[in-house]
Structure 1
């Protein structure tokens, strides 16, 4: 459903299936991998997929929350010289992101799939937490 959402609202974004991802990234990059990788899925193999898709000297940002500890297989990573950033969402670039939205360079409107009044925030959390009704993001208003 999310892939269809991206195809509909962001047709310029390149998509592939997880099992094709590493080859896809290498094929569509100039330096043997991605300059920056955002790991947001938190799946069983997504951490490994993230660093494998990164080119040498790239940045891998881990936003995902995992159910179990991840390990760094250093012998397999030898020569990659990766920089890892972890800890969830980093608010450092919020001003730039808001500026890009204001300038119309990033359209986040389709991401807000639900709107709730502040008085109904418990219902909003229930829907978001349980991933009901095709929810992506919820806007809370007064």
Structure 2
């Protein structure tokens, strides 16, 4: 089951919808210091936190606050191995990306899309290029 919630309510939502203290798997794709922190806070002990975001600076693991969580972090860019399967799920309507995409631009305006995303304006989360 996939549940989607706005970041401001994420921690309370995860705790309310989990019987074991957090999410089994957390995917961090926003790339901000606040979302990095939110990702590991939402994770249950022994969970996996996957970071696909690109950050402007180094992130710090506050180990005293994380003590006892025993988290596994996976990092790197988007793994292209599953892109075909993911696109198929989207096209079949089995994977809804709408809650993630806040802006859509035509390909000819890709520079403006990058500028919006890079400067985090207008509440942008993810931009889709048509």
TM-score of the pair, normalised by structure 2: 0.74
State the distance in 1 between where 2:3 and 2:42 align: 17
Where do residues 79-94 of structure 1 align in structure 2 (5 Å cutoff)? 79-94=68-83
RMSD between aligned residues: 2.9
Identify unmatched segments of 5+ residues in structure 1.
Answer: 1-11
CA separation of 1:109 and 1:68: change in aligned 2, threshold 3 A: closer
Deviation of 1:53 (Å): 0.5
Higher alpha-carbon Rg: 1
| Aligned twin of 1:70 | 59
Which residue of 2 is the match for residue 113 of structure 1?
104
CA contact (8 A) 2:15 2:22 kept: yes
Which residue in 2 is equivalent to 1:8?
A: none
> Relative contact order (C-alpha < 8 Å, sep 6+): which is higher?
2
Residue 51 (structure 1) aligned with residue 77 (structure 2): no
Aligned length: 121
Provide the residue aligned with 1:138 in structure 2: 129
- Among 6, 9, 15, the alignment partner of 2:5 is 15
Q: TM-score, normalised by structure 1?
A: 0.68
Deviation of 1:13 after TM superposition, in Å, equals 4.9
